[in-house]
Structure 1
Amino acid sequence: MRTKRLVLNLMSNVLLQVVAAVINFILPRLFMTTYGSATNGLVSSIKQFLSYLKIVEAGVGNASIVALYKPLAKGDKDQINGILSATNRFYRRSGYVFVGLVAILAICYPLLVGDEVNPRTALYMVLILGISGMWEYFFIGKYLVLLSADQKSYVIFRIQTMLLFASALLSVTLIAFGFSIVIVVASSSAILLLDVLFLRLYVKKKYPYFNSKKQANTLAIKDKWDALIHQIASLVVFNTPFILITIFLGLTEVSVFTVYSMVFNAVTLFISTFSGAILAAFGDILVKEDKDVLRKYFNHFEYIFYGIIAFSYTCTAILILPFIKIYTAGIEDANYIRPWLAILFVIVGVANTIRIPANTLVNAAGHFRETKNRAIMEALINLVVSLVFVQFFGAEGILLGGICSYGYRTYDLIIYSSKKILQNSPKDTVKKIVQNSIFALTAAIPFIFFIELHITSAGSWLVAAICISLWTMFILLVGNFIIEPQTMRDILVQLKRTTTNSK
């Protein structure tokens, strides 16, 4: 059952990320060409500010998911309802605070962006996007927690994929008919709110005992404050760039940063689908205290994962600037061709994704309290270095801040997960990283020194992408088979067994 759900979660998440990536490439381009770079920057900037306001969630989601692993494994319905009742209660309290903060942001944000966009447009956009954010607190939070903990994230992913596609289709149609950005965003956001109907129907059918009005078991999610610290730290690390650029560099520069982020977010999301699909499975193994199975499972997970990172970022490093040139062709109100920005984004992306396996294990184990000081340190490093460097290097300086904080936290997470959870040496993890780094560099060298790419259109870029992808995949597979033949054979056997069992 665990294997079947893992495959369903993985495939559904991959589909969602592919759809999201395609949409995230199409809509910003339409926003820039139709409304201008400043308006595109406005949408991205407001989303990042609203992400900061989500700290009012107070770590309830992550803490509740971890708390549900054991009662779900035992089929303890009273305990499940008690935890979900507490979750629902905390979410509603957070929702009221979130609404108040959105109202304050709606008043203050137009003053922050000055005359780059119409103040009334900025006000309306904050309110519209804020309504979408409050939906989770009042209506769907408890459903998301239950399905995630029960390894049924594929249900969430499928609903999100369907609604996201419908929302994007409506946005493109409205833009084509000349509607304002406010109408476009409001209409597309309204469609995404329909997820509550589908989630409620599914939970009512599959969990007939579900009752979030039972006596709340607040003690079961006592770790929510420690989870909150991690959440705040993550917000500082991942959302600070857009906030600082909005304040110090303006909305046009936010648009430039958004275009590069769009590419690298798509790569990171593609890579992260594997960790997201496997998170609940790790939680199930940890609850049953099967250390040997955990070590074997995690070793194979890491091996595949670092190979995917090497493949993804090698291809991205080679193809990013030709893509940006084609994507922003005809847009003259900002400088989008920034080689140093591209290089720094690649380094940040690699440093960030390398830690995903270890971070996935820490989250599955619920070690929020034990690692909260480390998360705070990462946030402080990121904020301080970014604040200093943005003054001298602009957007590139913010990425330097990210490299410093990711470097510290990635190293720390690998050490912690190896010693405290897996109870083995981190040398195996480091070895995998070094091996795949060497293979990635081997694949990239011909394009750095010998082969000059002549890409002038989307068609020629696609042909180059296919060729580079095949070449990189060949080098990685051959290299890993030569260095670790037995491990590669074990992984292939496991993949074959997983595919057979999932049918």
Structure 2
Amino acid sequence: MSRTRNSVKNIYTGVSYQVFRVFLTFITRTVFIHTLATEYLGINGLFSNVLTVLSLADLGIGDAIIYSLYKPIVENDEKKVSAIMNFFRTSYRLIGICILLIGLCLAPFLDNVITTNKYIPDLTLIYILYLSNTVSTYFFAYKRSLFIAIQKTFILNNIDALTVILVNSFQLIFLVLTHNFIGYLIIQIIFSYADNIVSSIIANKKFPFLKKNKHLKLTKKEKNIIYKNVKAMMYHKVGGVVLNSTDNLVISKFINIVMVGIYSNYTMLINSVSAFSTQFFTSLTASVGNLLVVESKEKSFEVFKVMFLINFWLYSIICIFLFNLMNPFINIWIGSKYLLDERTMILIVLNFYLVGMRQTVNMFKTTKGLFYKDRYKPIIESLLNLGLSLFFVKTFGVFGVLLGTFISFMLTSFLVDPYLVYRYIFNRKLRFYFYRYFSYTFIAVLLAVSIWCIMELFPLKDIYIDFVLKFILCVFVPNIVYFILFRKLDEFVTFKNLVIMILKKKNVNKHDKEVV
């Protein structure tokens, strides 16, 4: 129940935080679009990707160290935890310095990745501001990993929520009054530093043993274990960065920076609506790590099935919404000139679904520490993605870039990730996973297309009424159908009983407080 309570707290605070973040980010983006040139929208997306590429210097140390914390936390070994965190601190400071130096060396070559007909003033200064914001994280944020490992991310969520409210409010007012992009970035940097510093101060108070044990170091053997995991995670880090952060670079170079801005509106919407489901799984990560340390394979597999059903339920409904509502929403929000064609929009949704459906598998794989087993997979996937995107972009534009991503994913992660989890954690046949995966997906596609067909058969001239009706159908139709189809599944019954148990316990606690 302790694991469950922490998970519930993490989910509740995480989702609440995402509500604030998405709402305020959406308002700020709207003002951004109407107060600044479209080129700045593209620069925002491009530089974010450039700095994600620079984060390769991380080499996956963060994930490897969080994994190494699970066992000493369960054993309440404060000295081992302190030694790991000291190693983490030193590593991240060195990484921050490396990113700063490499980032400064790249500054003179910015014009080589930006295609635009307009002169953009202070481009180098803008880049350096982005760089400083990224570097600051490595000097302060390493202590956040300990909150994650002990299943207390709800503490971080509360801090982040306050920061998001303040930073977006100040940025919004500043953009309306000045229309100045550099000031907009400086506000972001100030609050980013503040968030990291406050998190660090709270960590010092929450974990006083860290300061007391600053002198402790890992043994050579312990470091070698972490180095082995880091080596494996390095491949994942490189592959992940190339896979997820080169699309905007390719679009900027071979199409133009304006198209990066248009595409970034779609990615912002995707990221906004997925923030809730992503937060759900992020909040459960440490609990799964704890589960795999203390529970049997049978118990872990039962939890996996429950989480996979929830995974599908959440992401399929999000995709049904996106498929039917994304282009209509952008048309209402900022106008038809910001729309991508239908086939590109569909491929954006499909790629999002494929990545989203990895959440459960990837969580179990990561928390089990299976970094080394598929260390070459992300490199192969990223090279395939980049090569295919470059091959298709000249013929198909943005659609070609996304097509490269789709093909590379299907040939690698789609097959390898579930194999590792079923082979090395559950010792079960993979065909059961794919049977459930394709059954779920077929139902979701059928529902998405059915809702679209219904609205096409009865077209409405008023775009606002049409949007509202589509929204209502996307809310009720999938949930009703899923309930009818899945209500007798063991995993659904297990999840329902867990929810009932949590609600009963909450009501009992509430009653006890009232009596007191």
Letter in 2 for 1:170: F
Letter in 1 for 2:215: K
User: Paired residue for 1:14?
Assistant: 15
Q: Say whether residues 1:345 and 2:345 are aligned partners.
A: no
Deviations 1:171-210 (A, max 9, x none): 1100111241111121133112211332123222221211
8 Å contact kept, 2:104–2:128? yes
User: Paired residue for 1:401?
Assistant: 404
User: Paired residue for 1:323?
Assistant: 329
Alignment of 1:336-415 (within 5 A): 336-408=339-411, 409-415=413-419
User: Paired residue for 1:197?
Assistant: 197
8 Å contact kept, 2:347–2:402? yes
Q: Say whether residues 1:466 and 2:472 are aligned partners.
A: yes
8 Å contact kept, 1:164–1:192? no
User: Displacement, 1:458?
Assistant: 5.7
User: Paired residue for 2:171?
Assistant: 171
8 Å contact kept, 1:311–1:476? no
Deviations 1:63-122 (A, max 9, x none): 110011011111111111110000001111111111112212332214532654545432
Instruction: Tell me, in whole angstroms, the C-alpha distance in 2 between the residues paired with 1:273 and 1:138.
Output: 24
Q: TM-score normalised to the size of structure 2? A: 0.91
Task: State which drifts further: 168-177 or 283-292.
Answer: 283-292
* CA shift in 2, pair 1:246/1:76, >3 Å: same
User: Paired residue for 1:245?
Assistant: 251
Q: How many residues get paired? A: 497
For the residue of structure 1 that corresponds to 2:373, the secondary structure is helix
Letter in 1 for 2:454: F
Q: Tell me, which stretches of 5 or more residues in structure 1 are unaligned? A: none
User: Paired residue for 2:512?
Assistant: none
User: Displacement, 1:289?
Assistant: 4.9
Instruction: Tell me, in whole angstroms, the C-alpha distance in 2 between the residues paired with 1:455 and 1:386.
Output: 38
User: Displacement, 1:457?
Assistant: 5.5
* CA shift in 2, pair 1:206/1:352, >3 Å: same
* CA shift in 2, pair 1:176/1:419, >3 Å: same
Alignment of 1:136-175 (within 5 A): 136-141=137-142, 143-175=143-175
8 Å contact kept, 2:374–2:416? no
Letter in 2 for 1:327: W
User: Paired residue for 1:122?
Assistant: 123
- Which of 308, 318, 335 lines up with 1:312 in the alignment? 318
8 Å contact kept, 1:170–1:187? yes
- Which of 272, 277, 282 lines up with 2:283 in the alignment? 277
Deviations 1:458-493 (A, max 9, x none): 676345313421122111211222xx4443222200
8 Å contact kept, 2:36–2:179? no
8 Å contact kept, 2:56–2:238? yes
Q: Say whether residues 1:221 and 2:226 are aligned partners.
A: yes
For the residue of structure 1 that corresponds to 2:214, the secondary structure is coil
8 Å contact kept, 1:6–1:277? yes
* CA shift in 2, pair 1:65/1:437, >3 Å: same
User: Paired residue for 2:484?
Assistant: 478
* CA shift in 2, pair 1:468/1:398, >3 Å: same
Instruction: Tell me, in whole angstroms, the C-alpha distance in 1 between the residues paired with 2:330 and 2:34.
Output: 14
User: Displacement, 1:15?
Assistant: 2.1
* CA shift in 2, pair 1:407/1:501, >3 Å: farther
User: Displacement, 1:426?
Assistant: 2.5
Instruction: Tell me, in whole angstroms, the C-alpha distance in 1 between the residues paired with 2:29 and 2:302.
Output: 42
8 Å contact kept, 2:38–2:258? yes
8 Å contact kept, 1:439–1:475? no
Q: Tell me, which stretches of 5 or more residues in structure 2 are unaligned? A: 510-516
Q: TM-score normalised to the size of structure 1? A: 0.93
Task: State which drifts further: 112-121 or 40-49.
Answer: 112-121
User: Paired residue for 2:132?
Assistant: 131
Instruction: Tell me, in whole angstroms, the C-alpha distance in 2 between the residues paired with 1:158 and 1:244.
Output: 37
User: Paired residue for 2:63?
Assistant: 62
Deviations 1:29-85 (A, max 9, x none): 322221121111111111110011011112111111001101111111111111000
For the residue of structure 2 that corresponds to 1:424, the secondary structure is coil
8 Å contact kept, 2:42–2:259? yes
User: Paired residue for 2:421?
Assistant: 417
Instruction: Tell me, in whole angstroms, the C-alpha distance in 2 between the residues paired with 1:46 and 1:352.
Output: 23
Letter in 2 for 1:412: V
User: Displacement, 1:256?
Assistant: 1.3
Instruction: Tell me, in whole angstroms, the C-alpha distance in 2 between the residues paired with 1:64 and 1:301.
Output: 25
Q: Say whether residues 1:92 and 2:93 are aligned partners.
A: yes
* CA shift in 2, pair 1:480/1:435, >3 Å: farther
Letter in 2 for 1:396: F
CA root-mean-square deviation: 2.1
8 Å contact kept, 2:115–2:255? no
8 Å contact kept, 2:486–2:492? yes
User: Displacement, 1:221?
Assistant: 2.2
* CA shift in 2, pair 1:465/1:450, >3 Å: closer
Q: Percent identity?
A: 19
User: Paired residue for 1:259?
Assistant: 265
8 Å contact kept, 1:306–1:436? yes
8 Å contact kept, 2:87–2:217? yes
Instruction: Tell me, in whole angstroms, the C-alpha distance in 2 between the residues paired with 1:360 and 1:393.
Output: 34
Deviations 1:287-321 (A, max 9, x none): 22522221111111111111212211112111111
8 Å contact kept, 2:327–2:339? no
* CA shift in 2, pair 1:214/1:311, >3 Å: same
Instruction: Tell me, in whole angstroms, the C-alpha distance in 1 between the residues paired with 2:311 and 2:389.
Output: 29
For the residue of structure 1 that corresponds to 2:460, the secondary structure is coil
Task: State which drifts further: 14-23 or 315-324.
Answer: 14-23
Instruction: Tell me, in whole angstroms, the C-alpha distance in 1 between the residues paired with 2:37 and 2:71.
Output: 51
User: Paired residue for 1:440?
Assistant: 444
8 Å contact kept, 1:326–1:456? no
Deviations 1:113-144 (A, max 9, x none): 26545454321211111111111211221x11
Task: State which drifts further: 191-200 or 18-27.
Answer: 18-27
